[in-house]
Amino acid sequence: MQICENVDDSNQNNNPYFYRIMNKIIRKDQFSERVFRLVVEAPLIARSRKAGHFVIVRVGEHGERMPLTIAEADPKEGTISLVVQKVGVSSTKLCHLEVGDYISDVVGPLGKATHIENFGTVVCAGGGVGVAPMLPIVQALKAAGNRVITVLAGRTKDLIILEEEMRASSDEVIIMTDDGSYGQKGLVTEGIESVIQREKVDKCFAIGPAIMMKFVCLLTKKYEIPTDVSLNTIMVDGTGMCGACRITVGGQTKFVCVDGPEFDGHQVDFDEMLKRMAAFKPEEVAADEEVKKHPELLEVPECTNHGECNGKVENEPCDSADCECMAVAEDDDKSRDAAWRKELRSSMKPKERLAIERCQMPELEPQYRARKLKEEVNQGLTAEMAQREAHRCLDCANPGCVEGCPVGIDIPRFIKHIEKGEFMQAAHTLKETSALPAVCGRVCPQEKQCESRCIHHKMNSKPVAIGYLERFAADYERQQLTAKGDAAVAHHTETSENKQKIAVVGSGPAGLSFAGEMTKRGYAVTVFEALHEIGGVLKYGIPEFRLPNEIVDFEINNLRAAGVEFVKDCIIGKTESVEDLFQKQGFAGVFVGSGAGLPNFMGIPGENATGVMSSNEYLTRVNLMDASNPESDTPVSFAKHVAVVGGGNTAMDSVRTALRLGAETATIIYRRSEEEMPARVEEVHHAKQEGVKFLTLHNPLRYEADEKGHVSKVVLQQMELGEPDASGRRRPVPIEGATVTMDVDLVIVSIGVSPNPILPNSVKGLDLGKKGTIAVDEHLQSSIPALYAGGDIVRGGATVILAMGDGKHAAQEMDDMLKAKK
């Protein structure tokens, strides 16, 4: 059982997020052998929940994220009720928890609320556990003045649940059982039709198994009765980020988690939905068989994450003045004219520095690494290599590299510290302006930013390896602290204590950068993250063979040590509104760095076949949910012939991940030529080394599926390059009649993302851009004066370092605004 011991609940009155984080089970009722009701402490969700809303639940460290509709909520008691049926491993683990146990994660409320009005006479049909989400709808309909006739259905009497509660809010209750053991013998459709034949029905709601809802809709369509259904599809994040829940409604693709879960049932393609719900059936069957052999797998480990649950930092940083790992030059003169900088410049002639060849990053051997998911490809420079590379820097009087850095790192100074052997001082120099140097040193496109402005280019020489050196200095600091048993170190460059609270929405690069900058200025910063891990795209989007989690965690712990508080499983715009942050929680400013997590699809035939997924879904399953780990409850496809559509870094991450999960062939399909690919040159190079195939100047026309609805072929249009488009790249033009067909068993679509609509659409008076981005001025200030935004939610799609630059810029602007108010 999952039991959180030694949890200090004395601060619950001062911490409004305490109970939401803990998710304690305070009541458990058993309806039948496999159906249970859990009453869970979740005050913020209880306060915000409306009929039709659902939550995402996760049990244990390796638990799957499961969508469950909220059956009831008690705002006064701060509880929600969930009705759960043992179906697979994850739901069974949840049902095994007892009163007093804690659910690892409960996130919500999610989805759109049920549209309630006085329709007249309404039939509400609930089948099996679908009765539970129907209960709040029945209550709301009755309160709106409707005549409510409820039809409860189940295979046997034991599967009829919540009858008493339904009778309390219904004008009539009809019970149907398949075997006739209770109520009338027959199907739910027979009960509904008996009502239709005796009186006029103005509206119907149906919730239950997909096949039940399909036949209810076929019946009501015959009688021309408007019918809404609530769909419970496969989900991963539940916030629109992955696209796993997409279905076809009225010929258009919809995401159940953000567009639903309720839709016009007469428009839903139930046949497609039924096939999509079976996408991971083989994996689920195998998991069930494994549990039967080893029932101990259902045991959930005790929660050991107490410090993070209640916002404490377990490991305090080493701040001793005589600590060797923290030794820095106290008389560090930051100017280029400092004596030590002059001495270094005079120690070698520029020609001698230019004669040094650029270092080569040590890498794992391609054949070995192509099957190693969590071993970092780039191994990092040795101290000798770093110092040699640092000697190449000419310490320019007007360094273009600094101008090319979105966060304004004093690049020559940190490099000269490396040349001098002062590695810790180099790390401190980086931290003055960058919250995530170890991250940026790995994933930022230095070749398009700082290194592109290096003076070496003018001398026909390769630029200084700034990214490699940035990584070296940041890694050195982490290794020294780890060796001494310290989790993090806080770098304070400014101290100006004040009492003002600042909220940050999203814990990706923009949010973390902003949080670090505002903490330096003395503000009390709280970061709200929708997922169960802090780090945003750095955790769910970038594989560990490029960016190990321990690197991200170290940088996050640095922020914790500096005073930043983190709240997980909290969706601003759902769990808590922006208005509440200002008015009820007393935040003086809000920065939105929630990213652009809504995956784009092409809208071509067959795209909703099983085995066609977004890169967001694929990478989230593998990276965040650790789905390739046998201990994980989250399934993932171990496909043999994988095609990835797109040419960016995310496409490279996806195709290289597929190789590591055992793909025999992994192919990039890109509509332009390789020269136009937006991916980093290094990532393309690594992919080719590892065996990835590149099929350029091709674009998918349609997907073909087998009899089970699983993708089996992709038909490709051959392309040629025409005139440049608005991006400056030559426009791909179809070659008439030229198509090829490729056999596939997994297609990963990686053609960009759009802004997630949850927060932007929830704030009254917030101006949006044409594509749903948050509109801001040159100060990154929105139409809401104290709300600033940056990163992908503003740009629509950008690099880690550009998002960090926005965070830093917004922090300065918000600080100026708040100071001007005083």
Rounded CA-CA distance 163/131 in Å is: 9
Q: What is the pLDDT of residues 292-325, one digit of tens each?
A: 777 766 776 655 443 344 333 333 334 433 444 3
Name residue, tokens 């997980």.
Answer: 568
- The DSSP code for 622 is I
Rounded CA-CA distance 157/19 in Å is: 36
DSSP string computed for 241-288: SS-TTEEEETTEEEEHHHH-SEEEGGGB-HHHHHHHHTTTHHHHHHHH
Question: Is 533 domain-assigned?
Answer: yes
Phi, psi dihedral angles at 187 (to 5 degrees): -90, 165
pLDDT for the residue 733:
94
Domain boundary pick from 752, 778, 807: 752
Peptide bond into 109 cis (omega under 30): yes
Rounded CA-CA distance 716/192 in Å is: 47
* Beta-bridge partners for 56: 67, 107
The pTM is what?
A: 0.90
Rounded CA-CA distance 467/532 in Å is: 30
- CATH number, domain containing residue 358: 1.10.1060.10
Residue 369: name the closest of 649, 627, 651, 660 by CA: 660
Q: Are 325 and 480 in contact (CB under 8 A)?
A: yes
Question: Is 318 domain-assigned?
Answer: no
- CATH number, domain containing residue 64: 2.40.30.10
Rounded CA-CA distance 731/622 in Å is: 33
pLDDT for the residue 288:
77
Question: Is 669 domain-assigned?
Answer: yes
Question: Is 683 domain-assigned?
Answer: yes
Domain boundary pick from 721, 752, 783: 752
DSSP string computed for 364-417: --HHHHTT-TTS-SB----HHHHHHHHTT----SS-HHHHT-TT---HHHHHHH
Question: Is 495 domain-assigned?
Answer: no
**Are residues 430 and 395 part of one domain?**
yes
Rounded CA-CA distance 245/272 in Å is: 12
**Are residues 132 and 83 part of one domain?**
no
Question: Is 11 domain-assigned?
Answer: no
Question: Is 12 domain-assigned?
Answer: no
Q: Are 264 and 227 in contact (CB under 8 A)?
A: yes
Rounded CA-CA distance 47/104 in Å is: 20
**Are residues 67 and 33 part of one domain?**
yes
User: Which distant-in-sequence residues (6+ apart) come within 8 Å of 818 by Cβ?
Assistant: 500, 588, 589
Quote the crossing angle between the two packed helices 210-222 and 270-277, to the nearest 10°: 180
**Are residues 240 and 139 part of one domain?**
yes
**Are residues 628 and 573 part of one domain?**
no
Distance of CA 815 to the CA centre of its chain: 28
- CATH number, domain containing residue 795: 3.50.50.60
DSSP string computed for 725-791: -TTSSEEEEEEEEEEEEEE-SEEEE-S-EE--STTGGGSTT--B-TTSPBP--TTSB-SSTTEEE-T
Residues of the chain with pLDDT under 70: 1-22, 296-297, 300-332, 486-498
Rounded CA-CA distance 152/164 in Å is: 11
Number of domains in the chain: 5
Query: Which domain range does residue 204 map to?
Result: 121-281
Distance of CA 791 to the CA centre of its chain: 15
Give the pair of three-digit tokens for residue 344: 């270094």
Residue 786: name the closest of 760, 759, 810, 757 by CA: 810
Amino acid at site 17: Y
Q: Are 636 and 628 in contact (CB under 8 A)?
A: yes
Give the pair of three-digit tokens for residue 95: 């049902």
**Are residues 734 and 714 part of one domain?**
yes
**Are residues 767 and 632 part of one domain?**
no
**Are residues 99 and 25 part of one domain?**
yes
Question: Is 321 domain-assigned?
Answer: no
Amino acid at site 821: K
- The DSSP code for 623 is I
**Are residues 762 and 748 part of one domain?**
no
**Are residues 741 and 672 part of one domain?**
yes
pLDDT for the residue 13:
42
Give the pair of three-digit tokens for residue 580: 């509440």
Q: Are 703 and 604 in contact (CB under 8 A)?
A: yes
- CATH number, domain containing residue 273: 3.40.50.80
**Are residues 694 and 716 part of one domain?**
yes
Domain boundary pick from 712, 727, 752: 752
Amino acid at site 228: D
**Are residues 158 and 23 part of one domain?**
no
Rounded CA-CA distance 735/109 in Å is: 48
Phi, psi dihedral angles at 693 (to 5 degrees): -95, 145
The three-state DSSP-derived secondary structure of 525-572 is: EEEECCCCCCCCHHHHCCCCCCCCHHHHHHHHHHHHHHCCEEECCCCE
Rounded CA-CA distance 168/610 in Å is: 42
